[in-house]
């Protein structure tokens, strides 16, 4: 049985993440993925990778979701997105993704890309709803299961023009 903590969306805040958030990021990461990224990987992302930007979604001062991307020239590449299991299916991931897409656009990003597991139909539906389109397949992309990844892209400039 799924358990959720209902949230009041007006109480959500989003802010950049840094090394001080490492333990909280790892908690959400470990609860979200069978093969989580390591402490060292996130330490690198926060301290050394000049391309990375991470944002956290907080509820009552608790990190409940995070998303990170690498800004490479004019393209944002989603590195990781995770929502704490107790806060899923309430629009938190979608809210955070739109925030990250806008942050990338404001920093000069024109497009964004991501990989999603071929078997993750719910994730693919969400990304399609947000304007991402499937553009290819990476065979055996996920080393833990050799599962393929669907490559998805969104044109941030075009998406912004549609909203205006």
String of DSSP letters for 32-81:
H-SSPPPHHHHHHHHHT-TTEEEEEEEETTEEEEEEEEEEETTEEEEEEE
Q: Taking residues 51-59, what's their average pLDDT?
A: 97
Tell me the domain boundaries of the chain: 9-163
Provide CB contacts within 8 A for 143, sequence distance 6+: none
Cβ(58)–Cβ(92) below 8 Å: no
- Residues annotated catalytic, as ranges: 115, 127
| Best CA proximity match to 99, nearest among 12, 1, 8 | 12
Q: Is the pLDDT of residue 6 over 50?
A: yes
What is the model's pLDDT at position 1?
Answer: 42
Q: Is the pLDDT of residue 164 over 70?
A: no
Summarised one tens digit per residue, pLDDT across range 98-155 is 999 999 999 999 999 999 999 888 889 999 999 999 999 999 888 778 889 999 999 9
Percent of the chain with pLDDT over 70: 96
CATH architecture, range 9-163: 3-Layer(aba) Sandwich (3.40)
Would you place residue 163 in the very low, low, confident or very high pLDDT band (cuts 50, 70, 90)? Answer: low
d(CA 88, CA 129): 17
d(CA 108, CA 148): 30
d(CA 28, CA 152): 24
Which phi and psi (to 5°) does residue 71 adopt?
-95, 110
Q: Given the DSSP bridges, would you call strands 111-117 and 75-83 parallel, antiparallel or unpaired?
A: parallel
CA distances from 72 to 7, 28, 50, 145 (A): 34, 26, 10, 28
Q: Is the pLDDT of residue 2 over 60?
A: no
- 1: exposed, middle or buried (C-beta count within 10 Å: 0-12, 13-18, 19+)? exposed
């Amino acid at each position: 049985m799924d358990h959720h903590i209902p949230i009041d969306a007006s109480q959500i805040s989003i802010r950049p993440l840094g090394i001080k958030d490492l333990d909280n990021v790892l908690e959400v990461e470990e609860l979200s993925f069978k093969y989580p990224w390591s402490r060292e990987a996130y330490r690198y992302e926060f301290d050394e990778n000049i391309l990375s930007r991470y944002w956290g979604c907080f509820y009552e001062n608790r990190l409940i979701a995070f998303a990170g991307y690498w800004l490479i020239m004019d393209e944002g590449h989603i590195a990781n997105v995770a929502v704490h299991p107790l806060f899923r299916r309430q629009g938190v991931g979608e809210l955070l993704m739109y925030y990250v897409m806008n942050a990338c656009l404001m920093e000069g990003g024109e497009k964004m890309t991501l990989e999603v597991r071929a078997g993750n139909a719910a994730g693919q539906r969400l990304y399609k709803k947000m304007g991402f389109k499937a553009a290819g397949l990476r065979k055996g992309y996920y080393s833990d299961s050799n599962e393929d990844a669907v490559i998805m892209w969104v044109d941030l400039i075009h998406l912004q023009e549609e909203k205006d």
